[in-house]
Structure 1
Amino acid sequence: MENTKILLLDDREENLISLKAILNRGDIEIYATTSPNEALRIVWENDIAVALVDVQMPGMDGFEFAETLLSNPKTKEILIVFVTAISKETTYAVKGLKTGAIDYLYKPLDPYITNAKVDSLIRLARSQKEIRDKNKLLENYATIILNSPDIIATVEPETGNVISINPSVETILGLAPSSLLGVTILDLLVDPVNSSLREVLVKRSYMGGDTIVVEDQFYGRLRQPVWLELRIMYKNRLLFVNLHDVEKRKAHEKALIYAQSQAEKARKVKEAFLANMSHEIRTPLNGIIGLGNILAATELDESQKDLISMLRQSSGSLLNILNDILDISKIDEGKFSIIPTSTDLRLLGKGIIDLMKFKAEEKKLNLQLVVADSVPESVKADGMRINQILLNLVGNALKFTQAGNVFLKIERLSEVSAGHKIKFSVEDTGIGMSEEHLSNIFSEYGQASENTSHQYGGTGLGLTISQKLVRLMASELEVNSKLNEGSQFFFTLVVQDANERVGDAKPPVSFQDLPPFEGKKVLVAEDNPINALLLRKYLKTWLLDATMVMNGREAVDAMKEQSYDLIILDTRMPEMDGFETARYARNQLHIKTPILSLSATVLPEEIDQAIQAGMNDTLSKPFEPEKLHTKIDFLLSRGAANI
């Protein structure tokens, strides 16, 4: 038996996830969306039997959505159940039933009740479908025709003359039924020559026996065009034509097309903003980190070394905030992946404590790592993302704790068939939160209260990205908190044992200790003076003969004068950017020298654009000099590019 198609409509993604989990079964096919307009498209294109619809939604609420479905013959048979957190007062129930719903489900949803009601609705939907299929075989439509809100007519196939037509033609088109008898139905069309109906009559495509559906514009009252949907069926040498007013649907389709156009514009604006923001922040940040690297390579006393360490920590925190913003965007667009690798959870926890201990010491807080003995030595997990989550949680705990303790705990709850169930938690003795504020803390750019950001600072992004990352790992970030007593944030992951041990991380290598590339010529186009200074310093240390220019135009002039072993181009420069420069070098100058793109954005679109322009590799700012050295070594070893 064919699976029953069910629509889930709720403006909150987490509610859709919950419903899909409850209804995860083999005999149904689920379509889920947070957009009422998208839901209208889904019901139009798919044979939806049951719709579970949230009542309270922005733009078009559940009642309006139900009325829209009910107003269209193609969708009015859909069984609608409202899913709501509104009280069970009679007024709401009556309103829902009047707009077309047949039942209610109340949040929080009970899985057993939900499945039982869905079972009942599926049986009802299948029964109704059987009845509708049988009704198509009936030949006597007299009573239905007279009472139908649609125009229903019988038409002579060869001539197109109207043999009979019901009273609805007067309501919809303002024409008396008696005046149309013997009139060719094509004479009622706005454009009979190019009409879909004319094509059906001429090609006799109705002879296949299927119901044919077309749309055409008819003249209505005062000669105003009216869009009608025609359902044409051939029976007993006659055409039975059902004409339904689809002006509302056409308006919705137009609104949907406009909304899609606006959404696409908004997406492009968002991409442009993220690219510009990434560039404008990463460019000076690369200078800060690079200058820190250069200073670290000089003779320093212990106090100065501590200052450099704090400089690196601060720039790293700024980079984390920027990455959080970009990560949220990538998760929302479905461009983010969890990549499990061999991970030492003890080493991971120790690294977090070591990184945050300066902040704890500043506030005289006791920051401790507690790892249970039962935690496996090495597991398969996305250590980078777990580290990102726990850094956010520990950073928040330190921020909102004025005295006492902050504990990072990792414990093994149980052994399961898929591996180990590990609990990660961060506990503090800080300001805590009241019940009313807990609901807002995971929302984007949201914080517990309005004055939190003024008193303690922060963007409100940390918990948002943490929750999204935890959900990508099939878990949920939860919180227990009491005002003025502290908070506990925790989540659990199921992980497998790793086959190999995790080695100790290699300490970063100073750029001065990296091997040289003596005798090689490099052309560098970089408009930012600080980044140009850093590149000149790195390249000179590695014995590279570097020609420095300020933009792509100067780079092209330099390429015309002499040849180079490597070309390094910043992507965003005045007069001629890196993409244009690379294309010109490849297509006009026919240069095959390897080209490395330096970009202050990590968006995949710009990386792809660089490769398409003819560059061989990319490096995103801010970068460590060791990574730049690796890229240069690889490209120089390739010699001429294979283009």
Structure 2
Amino acid sequence: MDKTKILLLDDREENLLALKAILNRDDIAIYETTSANEALRIVWDNEIAVALVDVQMPGMDGFEFAETLASNPKTREILIVFVTAISKETTYAVRGLKSGAIDYLYKPLDPYITNAKVDALIRLSRSQREIREKNRLLENYATIVTNSPDIIATVDPETARILSINPSVHTILGLPPQSLVDTSMLDLLVDPLNSGLKEVLISRSYMEGQTIVTEDQFYGRLREPLWLELRIMFKNRLLFINLHNIEKRKAHERELVEAQAVAEKARKVKESFLANMSHEIRTPLNGILGIANLLDATELDSSQRNLLDMLTQSSGSLLNILNDILDISKMEEGKFSIIPQPTDLRNVGKSIMDLLKFKGDEKGISLGFYVDSKIPDCVMVDGMRLNQILMNLVGNAIKFTHQGSVNLRIEHDGLVENHHQIKFIVADSGIGISEKNIKNIFSEYGQASEETSHHYGGTGLGLTISKNLVKLMKGDLKVKSEVDRGSEFYFTFLLEEDAKTSQKAAVISFNDLPPFTDKKVLVAEDNPVNSLLIKKYLTTWKIATTMVVNGQEALDALAKSEYDLIILDSRMPVMDGFETARYIRNTLHLDVPILSLSATVLTEEVQEALQSGMNDTLSKPFQPAKLHEKIETLMYSLI
């Protein structure tokens, strides 16, 4: 395979040396320079696939360089990754993405993350190149089909006898036209008994001036079958038949099938990238949240408690951003599910306002919450998604309000065919949105203006997610706003009343969860921090725990002892969780319960876990109580 050409652009030689050392591989050809102008010459003369570009450089900076590449058809397909040591604020990320980059690497560079991202970009570049080449082939076939001359013939509808035929028959079928006059057109068909033309003749389905379209295979040169499209018109007691060579179109259709396969491959590349991204972020995030759980169970002074709260809040924000990105991907592919469940709207609203109260207190603004008394105690709605929508809207309102108030109102707008029409309103006295900028706020990564993005930060994904979620739940998120007077976001759902009462789960410390009696669990987890956390949880619950770092070590442990439960990380070196589970089920024939730990939340990975023989899955980051619940279910319910 040809080497993938990668450009390294950095104004400092030592940074280029560091990048070259990380990317020193046989499958990569590296072009390096400290000059943006020299880099432009390199990309013009060479088919560069990926460019790793420093953001801050004298003269032309990284953003301007990326914009220059994006503006030229010859270079706009280059995949650009910014390498930077500057702030990770969303302002820089959004500007970078708008200038043409698709990702960031932050200094000091992690060799494993850098190589993983470059690998993903190389695969993506190759897939995109294949798609472009296939598209060019398809366009060529379409041109050939469109410009092909057609056979034109007049035929006796009673006998199918050819009365006249033009010279194109010689070009297409290799038959001299004069030899075909007075012969039956059915004699030219590969399968006259099952032909579309014969069906037309027998059924006499034609009417004066009406065109009938069918397809048949004809004998071409050297008696090879050739597909022709027949456009048949009955006029003046004759059949006028236009025969168009569609072999090219058939080939085009075959190419389309192949192109679809290429597109499917590109889709899988995207899924793989999302899975890798999710895994790379969720694995350390699980460690951060897990350590926060361990710290929460210790004696802390007020200062330490505040720091722990900020750590938990920041980790939660990062998790929300990651979930937003994955949610958008699921929505684009139509894989996003809305699951109505019995829900108490009062609990949903109160929980959100209680959770965000400290943010309001920090800014000195009041938070108000009102629920119409006519709203039932329990309705059928996807409470988790509703909570996500309202959390985004109320959080946004607090962010853009400096004084005054933010209010969440849930109003009853009457009954429609036994369904309650319920309106959700989030109103604030914040900075407001100008009429010309309102159209931007629901777009992906969009905000009211660049100034708003600079001053307030944020990914711009929250309102996009909320808009799409409301639409999936049969509503429409709208906004009314006036600059310096505040904004009001609102939507309406038709919800069915439910007689059940929703229950809000209490948050329980892992120390307070009940222990297990005489249970042995085998855990395969290669990440040392996550391994430490899981062992801490299990030993606290009085479980005899054996820890290993890959699937092969898990199989070795199974050869020496029996266990009540096996917990397998899905991605491990040597032998991953899926392969290990299949070996346990198909070769060892053990029915011991298996729980999959995964750092991705993609449906495909969950399905693969279940198909490999695992009984259940748990996504990182997880709460200890959820792990306890899964263990209890698997060890006792599956007996």
TM class, shorter-length: 0.5 to 0.7
**Is the CA contact (8 Å cut-off) linking 1:297 and 1:512 kept in structure 2?**
yes
Structure 2 CA distance for aligned equivalents of residues 586 and 597 of structure 1? 14
1:593 and 1:340, CA in 2 relative to 1: closer, same or farther beyond 3 A? closer
Partner of 1:101: none
Which residue of 1 is the match for residue 304 of structure 2?
304
Kindly report which structure 2 residues correspond to 1:28-67, keeping only aligned pairs within 5 A, or say none. none
Distance 1:172 1:447, change over 3 A: farther
Rounded to whole Å, the distance in 2 between the matches of 1:636 and 1:494 is 41
> Does the 8 Å CA contact 1:155/1:241 hold for their aligned counterparts?
no
Whether 1:347 aligns to 2:351 is: no
Residue 328 (structure 1) aligned with residue 322 (structure 2) = no
Residues 1:154 and 2:155 are matched in the alignment: yes
Q: 1:593 to 1:202 in 2, by over 3 A?
A: closer
**For 1:583, what is the secondary structure of its paired residue?**
helix
Compared with structure 1, are the counterparts of its residues 155 and 525 closer, same or farther at alpha carbon in structure 2 (3 Å cutoff)?
farther
1:498-529, Cα deviation, whole Å (9 max, x unpaired): 323444x2421211122222322211100011
Query: Closer, same or farther in 2 for the Cα pair 1:422/1:558, shift >3 Å?
Result: same
Report what 2:106 is aligned to: none
Match of 1:498 in 2: 498
1:462 aligns with 2:456: no
Alignment check: 8 A CA contact 1:157 1:238 kept: no
Q: Does the CA contact (< 8 Å) of 2:467 and 2:476 recur in 1?
A: yes
| Aligned ranges 1:263-282 → 2 under 5 Å | 263-282=263-282
Aligned 8 A contact 2:524 2:568 in 1: yes
8 Å CA contact retained: 1:414, 1:421: yes
Identity %: 59
1:441 — aligned with what? 441
1:582-601 equivalence runs, <5 A: 582-601=581-600
Name the CA distance, whole Å, in 1 between partners of 2:379 and 2:197. Answer: 67
* Distance in 1 separating the partners of 2:632 and 2:373: 44
1:574-616 deviations in whole A, cap 9, x for unaligned?
Answer: 1110011111122222322221111112222211211211112
- The answer for the alignment partner of 1:382 in structure 2 is 382
Question: Structure 1 residues 416 and 589, CA, compared in 2 at 3 Å: closer, same or farther?
Answer: closer
Task: Determine if the alignment matches structure 1 residue 561 to structure 2 residue 555.
Answer: no
CA drift of 1:278 comes to 1.8
Q: 1:298: Cα distance to partner?
A: 1.2
Q: Which amino acid counterpart does residue 595 of structure 2 have in structure 1?
A: L
Change (3 A) 1:527 1:596: same
Aligned to 1:209: 203
Distance 1:251 1:455 in 2: 56
Name the counterpart of 2:605. Answer: 606
Contact 2:433 2:481 in 1 (8 A): yes
TM-score normalised by length of structure 1: 0.67
Q: Could you say which residue in structure 1 is the equivalent of 2:84?
A: none
Q: What per-residue deviation string (whole Å, max 9, x for no partner) do you get for residues 428-472 of structure 1?
A: 222322222221221222222234333322122111111111112
Deviations 1:403-441, CA, capped at 9 Å, x for gaps: 332222222233433333222111222232222222122
Tell me the SS of whatever aligns to 2:493. strand
Q: Identify the residue that residue 394 of structure 2 maps to in structure 1.
A: 394
- Matches of 1:594 and 1:566, distance apart in 2: 5
> One-letter code of the match for 1:514?
L
Whether the 8 Å contact between 1:565 and 1:639 is mirrored in structure 2 is: no
- Give 1:245 deviation, angstroms: 4.6
Q: Distance in 1 between matches of 2:227 and 2:332?
A: 38
- SS of match in other structure, 2:450: coil
Distance in structure 2 (CA, Å) of the matches to 1:354 and 1:208: 78
> Could you tell me how far 1:206 is from its partner in structure 2?
7.4
Question: In structure 2, do the counterparts of structure 1 residues 247 and 428 end up closer, same or farther at CA, with 3 Å as the change threshold?
Answer: farther
Q: What residue identity is the alignment partner of 1:244? A: H
Deviations 1:149-169 (A, max 9, x none): 8623438999x9844225876
The 8 Å contact of residues 153 and 166 in structure 1, kept in 2 or not, is answered as no
Give ranges in structure 1 of 5+ residues lacking alignment.
1-67, 73-147
Describe the SS at the equivalent of 1:572: coil
Contact 1:157–1:201 under 8 Å retained in 2:
no
The secondary structure found in structure 2 opposite 1:388 is helix
Q: What is the distance in 2 between the residues matched to 1:420 and 1:516?
A: 45
Greater shift after overlay, 583-592 or 166-175?
Answer: 166-175
Q: What does 1:356-375 correspond to in 2, within 5 Å?
A: 356-375=356-375
Q: Deviations over 1:192-216 (max 9, x none)?
A: 8xx7456758997778537793344
| Aligned partners of 1:209 and 1:234 also within 8 Å | no
CA contact (8 A) 2:228 2:247 kept: yes
Assess if the C-alpha contact under 8 Å between 1:432 and 1:482 holds in 2: yes
Return the offset for 1:628: 1.1
2: CA distance, partners of 1:583 / 1:196 = 51
The letter for the 1-side match of 2:398 is L
Alpha-carbon shift at residue 363 of structure 1 (Å):
2.3
Q: Secondary structure at the match of 1:435?
A: coil
Aligned-partner SS, 1:443? coil
Q: Distance in 2 between matches of 1:581 and 1:377?
A: 47
Q: State the Cα distance separating 1:306 from its structure 2 match.
A: 3.7
TM-superposed deviation, 1:238: 11
Moved more, 303-312 or 621-630: 303-312
The match for 1:8 is: none
The residue that corresponds to 1:417 in the other structure is 417
Distance in 1, Cα, partners of 2:172 & 2:481: 61
SS of the aligned residue for 2:436 comes to helix
Partner of 1:429: 429
Shift of 1:330: 2.6
> Which deviations, in whole Å up to 9, do the C-alpha atoms of 1:231-285 show, x marking residues without a partner?
68999x9997541354785576466435533431232122212222221222112
Structure 2 unaligned regions, length at least 5 = 1-141, 206-212
Q: 1:417 to 1:584 in 2, by over 3 A?
A: closer
Distance in 2 separating the partners of 1:344 and 1:260: 46
State whether residues 157 and 201 of structure 2, in contact with CA within 8 Å, keep that contact through their aligned partners in structure 1.
Answer: no
Q: 1:249 to 1:299 in 2, by over 3 A?
A: same
Q: Deviations over 1:303-351 (max 9, x none)?
A: 4334333333332232222222222233333333333333222222111
Report the counterpart of residue 22 of structure 1 in structure 2: none
1:439/1:170 CA distance change after superposition, 3 Å: farther
Q: What secondary structure does 1:181 align onto?
A: coil
The residue aligned with 1:229 is 229
Amino acid at match of 1:456: Y
- For residues 525 and 547 of structure 1, what CA distance do their matches in structure 2 show? 9
Distance (Å, rounded) in 2 between the aligned partners of 1:369 and 1:210: 74
After the TM superposition, list the runs of 4 or more consecutive aligned residues in structure 1 that deviate by more than 6 angstroms. 155-158, 170-176, 183-187, 201-207, 217-220, 232-235, 237-240
Letter in 1 for 2:215: V
Maintained 8 Å contact 2:174/2:220 = no
Greater shift, 240-249 or 446-455, is seen at 240-249
Equivalent residue, structure 1, for 2:138? none
Change (3 A) 1:563 1:342: closer
Question: How far, CA to CA, are the matches of 1:166 and 1:507 in structure 2?
Answer: 84
User: Shift in Å at residue 489 of structure 1?
Assistant: 1.0
Secondary structure in structure 1 of the residue aligned to 2:354? helix
- Name the amino acid aligned to 1:332: E
Q: Decide whether the 8 Å contact of 2:565 with 2:592 is kept in 1.
A: yes
Q: Is residue 196–residue 215 contact of structure 2 (8 Å, CA) maintained in 1?
A: no
Structure 1 residues 541 and 216 mapped into 2: Cα distance closer, same or farther (>3 Å)? same
Aligned-pair Cα RMSD in Å: 3.9
1:589 counterpart letter in structure 2: L
Tell me the amino acid that sits aligned with residue 621 of structure 1: K
Distance 1:202 1:267 in 2: 38
The 3-state SS of whatever aligns with 1:289 is helix
Q: Distance in 2 between matches of 1:175 and 1:455?
A: 77
CA contact (8 A) 1:206 1:234 kept: no
Name the CA distance, whole Å, in 1 between partners of 2:628 and 2:521: 13
* Aligned-partner Cα distance in 2 for 1:607–1:170: 59
Q: Secondary structure at the match of 2:336?
A: coil
Q: Which residue in 2 is equivalent to 1:143?
A: none
Residue 544 of structure 2 corresponds to which residue in structure 1? Answer: 545
Alignment: residue pair count: 485
